[in-house]
Structure 1
Amino acid sequence: MNVSEIAARAKQASYILGALPPETKDRALNAMACALRVHADEILAANQLDLQEAKRAVEAGEMKPALYERLKLTREKLEVVIRGVEELVELPDPVGNVLAATELDEGLNLYKVSCPIGLIGVIFEARPDVVPQIAALAAKSGNAVVLKGGREALHTNDALAKVLQNALASVPGYPPEALNLIHTREESAQMLALDQFFDLIIPRGGNSLIAYVKANTKIPVLGHADGVCHIFVARSADVEMAKKICIDAKNQYPSACNALETLLIDENWPDHYKKELLDALVKSGVELFGGADVAALAPVRGPVTDWHTEYGEKKLSVKQVKNVLDAVEHINRYGSHHTDGILSADHDEVQIFMDLTDSAGVYHNASTRFADGYRYGFGAEVGISTGKTHARGPVGLEGLTIYKYKLYGNGQIVADYTGAQAKPFTHKKIGGNI
């Protein structure tokens, strides 16, 4: 079956999904979670095959170590994904919610109601946990999906897709064509050309992937190109808190898109605090890059050649700035509008940072690693959007819905509301139930 045929069948399935009762969707989620646990060993065995090939690629200089780390699927990581699927069952159904209700006239009522987007194409690199996360979010939100993973995760993606497809096929009333996996770059290019079927494309990967997708499709694109995340250490920051948060933000998962990549320090923060923080980072295994002023405080590997750098490993750009406004200017200029934070005890300074920093997530006294759909209580996420479309930040269930207007009348016609004897509209807000 070619991509066009897969997309056509998936599009038809999306119409069925849009009208499924919540109970059917939740049964699908429970079936998926159960199947992932039952087949965990074979999924992890498939991941080992991918890791063996990836290790050879790393040794040959054909793959970055950060990509290898993203490829790993441990039993613990798989269990987190499964719990995320189960938590989606407990969340309210995002479809069919009345977002606004207006009486246009007596007996003529307009409702703005949430509904699925339809058919979504997802192109992603490495991270095989994307497959169950997106499959689950699509099931709960009533969307059909076509997934295209990177060849480095071929065995894992195939194993996950097979397990999930079989689970969904066991649920009465759930269309089996709703979840699909394609494999090649040629198929990916074909998908991007099918704007008659796809309603949204979500790329998850590096700059080159995002740029390629945006340049080669007419379909709306949702996603983020990179994660150049900052933390600004203000002059009132607590040094112990700063050490704990910065080390977590950089080292807890260095290859993640929400990991710390640039540390900004207020030049008025005491030098002995600066040295203490930078020394703690170095001792934790982080390589620092910065100018002569930073080199006077701690050992650096060299200057920063590009402030818009996503290392994806234990490397960190460091810069001293004049104040919070200088920090905000730097972040808005060089950042990726992903997630950026301030460490400060000054309320006014914090509010300036939170209001002026143009990022999808702005944090106070917290690690940037919290930028995640699971940690936000979304159950999972399809990705993080740094754009200013209908969804921003971690995109969970709400970001996978749009809305339609439903008008309920009783024989009204527009002619009665035009001309010299036109009836007036009431435009009165009414109760939210249809």
Structure 2
Amino acid sequence: MDQALSVPDPTPELLQRAAAVRRAALELGRLDNGARRRAVEAMAEALEAESEVIVAANRQDLESAEAEGLAPALAARLRLDGPKVASAVEGVRQVAQLEDPLGRRQLHTELDRGLELERITVPLGVVGVIFEARPDAVIQIASLAVRSGNGAILKGGREANASCRAIHGALRRGLAASAVGPEVLELLTSREESLALLRLDGLVDLIIPRGSNALVRFIQDHTRIPVLGHADGICHLYVDREVDGAQAVRIAVDSKTHYPAACNAIETLLVHRQAVATFLPAAIAALRAAGVELRGDAEAQAAGVPMAACDADWDTEYGDLILAVKVVSGLEEALEHIARHGSRHTDAICTSDPERAERFLASVDSAGVYHNCSTRFADGFRYGFGAEVGISTQTLPPRGPVGLEGLVTYRYRLRGHGQIAADYGSGGRPYSHRPLPL
């Protein structure tokens, strides 16, 4: 996104729409678990009933994107065929069955007799989500928002406008058949509206960007609303000297080729010098057979990687069938490389040595750190969250794939019988601070 763009003030019409979402969210947050669960199930039924309409709208978007020369990585994220809609509907139904995230008592303490403190989970309020391509993000985020008692204002890229409109219409028709007001889900369709969304502090409680580095950085720099997300997905796979070579090849191929446009696909393959002879030739053959363009350092080229890597390759998220390969002296150099060039998203090690595996898992400061498995598992659906609102690489929670728990906060409630603070402290009554059952 162009950093020179100015962020306009929201129009009166946008303010009214955002206020309507907030009012509907307040009502939604008061509904019980059963009502929210039934609303999400109704959303799934509506999506299933209108799947052909959604797929047809997506074909319209794909045709326009092809005519405009949309980048292959974005085109892959834009595509929404029948099986993908069916998978998304399955995710919505899984969200409906998840444990209620609201009303959980996290803390219960007696400050003094008759003065009890508790901490209870409550909805955030309204989330604003801005994403590129990925029309299925509307489905994921809407289901998680309703299940957790939140409103959502959604803005997809213009390349996905027809798809987003069709999905949004189905979701709202589903909600209309439930106890939840359809106004709880709002869709923005213009760039001006998405920019003005960044100025809706007071009406929107959290912004979640899903897209390019440029999009995320722009949003972080131009709003006072808290932002949850990640700018880069530079993921690594390190193949250690003691390794099951055939297993490591399968993991490398899956991590790169299963969905190369995803942020959890690897962009760099690090290989221990002592594993070059046993692992790298087979890996090169398998990756090239899968259509991967390989770029390597001098040692990797000597082992058969056909192209030279430049310094920029170690810091690039390709989102495509391109992989940088580097030979390292061992675990310590691999850790140093990841610390310097990684994006704290997801990194993995292939090794048969449990001590080195544990050192890797304890040393890599990423949201996901894996041993002997593909980085493609970094996904809310695969984690059992049903769906995700995004992936966060920040240190503070929530971190990694963010599901329902990322859309709730908590509130302290204190119940008393006329107590005042002046009665306690120096020379006054002591606090008991006695833990009570949750």
Using the size of structure 2 for normalisation, the TM-score is 0.95
Q: Paired residue for 1:352?
A: 359
Distance in 1 (CA, whole Å) between partners of 2:207 and 2:200 is: 11
Q: Paired residue for 1:49?
A: 60
Indicate yes or no: 2:48 matched with 1:37: yes
**Is the contact between residue 96 and residue 115 of structure 1 (CA under 8 Å) also seen in structure 2?**
yes
Distance in 1 (CA, whole Å) between partners of 2:242 and 2:288 is: 23
Distance in 2 (CA, whole Å) between partners of 1:15 and 1:412 is: 31
Q: Paired residue for 1:2?
A: 13
Distance in 2 (CA, whole Å) between partners of 1:3 and 1:328 is: 48
Q: CA deviation at 1:334?
A: 0.5
Distance in 2 (CA, whole Å) between partners of 1:76 and 1:304 is: 39
Letter in 1 for 2:51: A
Q: Deviations over 1:7-26 (max 9, x none)?
A: 11111222212211011101
Letter in 2 for 1:33: A
Deviating more after overlay: 214-223 vs 319-328: 319-328
Q: CA deviation at 1:176?
A: 2.3
Distance in 1 (CA, whole Å) between partners of 2:15 and 2:306 is: 53
Letter in 2 for 1:425: Y
Match of 1:14 among 10, 25, 32: 25
Match of 1:215 among 221, 237, 240: 221
Q: CA deviation at 1:270?
A: 4.7
Q: CA deviation at 1:302?
A: 2.6
**Is the contact between residue 175 and residue 182 of structure 2 (CA under 8 Å) also seen in structure 1?**
yes
Indicate yes or no: 2:216 matched with 1:205: no
With over 3 angstroms needed to count, the CA separation of the structure-2 counterparts of 1:38 and 1:101, relative to structure 1, is same
Q: CA deviation at 1:133?
A: 0.6
Distance in 2 (CA, whole Å) between partners of 1:431 and 1:80 is: 40
Letter in 2 for 1:240: A
Letter in 2 for 1:47: N
Give the ranges of 4+ consecutive aligned residues of structure 1 lying more than 3 Å apart after TM superposition: none
Q: Paired residue for 2:397?
A: 390
Deviating more after overlay: 304-313 vs 330-339: 304-313
Secondary structure of the residue aligned to 2:308 is coil
Q: Paired residue for 1:265?
A: 271
**Is the contact between residue 88 and residue 139 of structure 2 (CA under 8 Å) also seen in structure 1?**
yes
Q: Which runs of 5+ in 1 are unaligned?
A: none
Match of 1:189 among 184, 187, 195: 195
Following superposition of structure 1 onto structure 2, how do residues 243-282 of structure 1 map, counting pairs within 5 Å? 243-282=249-288
Letter in 1 for 2:65: A
Secondary structure of the residue aligned to 1:180 is strand
Secondary structure of the residue aligned to 1:280 is helix
Q: Paired residue for 1:170?
A: 177
Distance in 1 (CA, whole Å) between partners of 2:84 and 2:307 is: 33
Secondary structure of the residue aligned to 1:269 is helix
With over 3 angstroms needed to count, the CA separation of the structure-2 counterparts of 1:419 and 1:270, relative to structure 1, is closer
Q: CA deviation at 1:320?
A: 0.8
Match of 2:99 among 82, 92, 96: 92
Q: Paired residue for 2:5?
A: none
Q: CA deviation at 1:116?
A: 0.7
Q: Deviations over 1:21-80 (max 9, x none)?
A: 01110111111110111101000000000000111122xxxx211111110001111111
Q: Which runs of 5+ in 2 are unaligned?
A: 1-11
**Is the contact between residue 276 and residue 303 of structure 2 (CA under 8 Å) also seen in structure 1?**
no
Distance in 2 (CA, whole Å) between partners of 1:223 and 1:182 is: 20
Distance in 2 (CA, whole Å) between partners of 1:134 and 1:282 is: 36
Distance in 1 (CA, whole Å) between partners of 2:435 and 2:274 is: 53
Deviating more after overlay: 328-337 vs 147-156: 328-337
Distance in 1 (CA, whole Å) between partners of 2:212 and 2:39 is: 32
Secondary structure of the residue aligned to 1:268 is helix
**Is the contact between residue 264 and residue 321 of structure 1 (CA under 8 Å) also seen in structure 2?**
yes
Q: CA deviation at 1:410?
A: 1.8
Distance in 2 (CA, whole Å) between partners of 1:148 and 1:274 is: 43
Q: CA deviation at 1:291?
A: 1.7
Distance in 2 (CA, whole Å) between partners of 1:46 and 1:276 is: 42
Deviating more after overlay: 135-144 vs 176-185: 176-185
Distance in 2 (CA, whole Å) between partners of 1:303 and 1:410 is: 71
Match of 2:71 among 61, 64, 70: 64
Indicate yes or no: 2:143 matched with 1:132: no
Letter in 2 for 1:210: V
Distance in 1 (CA, whole Å) between partners of 2:292 and 2:195 is: 39
Distance in 1 (CA, whole Å) between partners of 2:38 and 2:276 is: 57
Q: Paired residue for 2:4?
A: none
Using the size of structure 1 for normalisation, the TM-score is 0.96
With over 3 angstroms needed to count, the CA separation of the structure-2 counterparts of 1:11 and 1:88, relative to structure 1, is same
Q: Paired residue for 1:161?
A: 168
Distance in 2 (CA, whole Å) between partners of 1:312 and 1:270 is: 26
Q: Paired residue for 1:409?
A: 416
What's the % identity of the aligned pairs?
A: 47
Q: Deviations over 1:156-214 (max 9, x none)?
A: 00000011011112213x12221000011111111101111111000000011001101
**Is the contact between residue 296 and residue 305 of structure 2 (CA under 8 Å) also seen in structure 1?**
no
Q: Deviations over 1:114-165 (max 9, x none)?
A: 1111111000000000011100000100000100100000100000001101
Distance in 1 (CA, whole Å) between partners of 2:402 and 2:304 is: 39
Secondary structure of the residue aligned to 2:327 is strand
Q: CA deviation at 1:259?
A: 0.6
Distance in 1 (CA, whole Å) between partners of 2:13 and 2:379 is: 34
Q: CA deviation at 1:101?
A: 1.2
Following superposition of structure 1 onto structure 2, how do residues 311-390 of structure 1 map, counting pairs within 5 Å? 311-390=318-397
Alignment: residue pair count? 426
Letter in 1 for 2:52: D
Indicate yes or no: 2:114 matched with 1:141: no
- The RMSD of aligned alpha carbons is 1.1
Secondary structure of the residue aligned to 2:386 is coil
Secondary structure of the residue aligned to 2:311 is coil
Distance in 2 (CA, whole Å) between partners of 1:271 and 1:176 is: 60
Q: CA deviation at 1:389?
A: 2.7
Letter in 2 for 1:45: A
Q: Paired residue for 1:113?
A: 120
